[in-house]
Each structure stands twice: as C-alpha cells, then as structure tokens.
Structure 1
Amino acid sequence: MIFGKIAGTVVSTQIDEGIKGKKCLLVQTCNHKGEIGGNYLVAVDLVGAGVEEIVIISQGSSARQTEITHQKPVDCVIVGIVDMVEERNKIVFKK
C-alpha cells in the first residue's frame, strides 16, 4: 500500500461494465507526511474520500481483492483515509 493525495475527480462516459457507476478519483502519490511529488493515478474510491485528503492506495492484483472490485478491471483502489501518521513517537501528519 502507498500514500496518495486526492487531486480531483475522473469522469468517463464510456467505461467497462465491471466498473460502471464506481467513483473514480485522480490521486497523486505522496510521502507519509502528505508531501506530494509522485505520479498521478486513477483510483476507484471505496471509502468516500474527498479532494485534498491523504489516502491509502492498493495497486495491482491487491486492488481486485475487495468485494466491490473482485474480478473487475481495476488496478488501483482507495482503501482508507489517513487521520494521522506517527513516526518514531512523533506525529508527522494529522488530518
């Protein structure tokens, strides 16, 4: 799993039936402190994330391990919204 920051929404009128109706978000990868700088990804949102939130992303075959995405053409899913990150007994990110 990796960290990402929600940058926006992705809308597609022509999409595979397996993911039709699923909310897709534009996510930029970031570090554990929420500092962006990585690639952009399109991810299926499983948790109701919003713009600017730091999220946990699963990719690859792990993205198809949920009830919603099982055997669907999905490579990236948002599986959590980060509230806090503690590193070496110090809070480095807090929502």
Structure 2
Amino acid sequence: MILARVEGSVVATKKNPKMQGTKFLFVRPMIVDSPASTELKASGSTLVATDSLGAGEGDLVLIVQGSSARLGAADDKSPVDAVVIGIVDTIDLSKRVIYKAH
C-alpha cells in the first residue's frame, strides 16, 4: 500500500467504457523521512488513482497498485493501475499522532 495526499481531480469525458462513472484523483505519495520526524513529506511523482470512497483534495489516502488495484476496483476487469482503498483518519507513529484528519 502507498500513503498519498490528494492534490486534485482529473476529468476525462472520453474514456474506456469500463471506466464510465469513475472518479479520478491526482495523488502524490507521502513518506515520513525518519523515525524521529513528525512530518509527512512528498515522495516520488504524482499518479492518477480511481476513487469510489469519496476522497477529496487534501485528504490522505491509502492506494494500491498493480493486480491489487484491479481487485480493489468496482469491476475486477477494469483497466486500472491505482485505486484508493482507504481514507486515513489518524497516523500514530511511535506513540505520537503525526496526522489527524480535519
């Protein structure tokens, strides 16, 4: 799984028929760069993920990619490579809360 922050949405009016009605989010993977850190930092390049949970800009989400993404999609035959499978409420690292959803 990948921890990522939603940076925006992607609109595609013309798409594969299996993707009709699918919401696309523009997400950036996040990391904690050291065990002593309490800050999430951007890591890597952005990607587009499908979302059926209702995540929005600024939310922290859990993403799966590859074959796991197809299993997490509404239709396991969908041509997807990244899917939101959770919206993060809290991150507790070494008994410290480093993230709490607004």
Q: TM-score, normalized by length of structure 1? A: 0.91
Q: 1:3 to 1:21 in 2, by over 3 A?
A: same
Contact 1:63 1:74 (C-alpha < 8 Å) held by counterparts: yes
Q: Which residue is 1:82 aligned to?
A: 88
Contact 2:29 2:44 (C-alpha < 8 Å) held by counterparts: yes
Number of matched residues? 95
Larger Rg: 2
Q: Which residue is 2:36 aligned to?
A: none
Q: Which residue is 2:16 aligned to?
A: 16
2-side partners of 1:34 and 1:69: how far apart? 32
Query: How far 1:66 sits from its partner (Å)?
Result: 2.9
Percent of paired sites with the same residue: 37
2-side partners of 1:82 and 1:51: how far apart? 13
Q: 1:14 to 1:29 in 2, by over 3 A?
A: same
Counterpart of 1:78 in structure 2: which amino acid? V
1-side partners of 2:73 and 2:82: how far apart? 14
Secondary structure class of the residue paired with 2:68: helix
Counterpart of 1:22 in structure 2: which amino acid? T
Once structures 1 and 2 are overlaid, which stretch shifts more, 66-75 or 41-50?
66-75
Q: Which residue is 1:72 aligned to?
A: 78
Q: Which residue is 1:31 aligned to?
A: 31
The Cα RMSD (Å) is 1.4
Query: How far 1:67 sits from its partner (Å)?
Result: 5.7
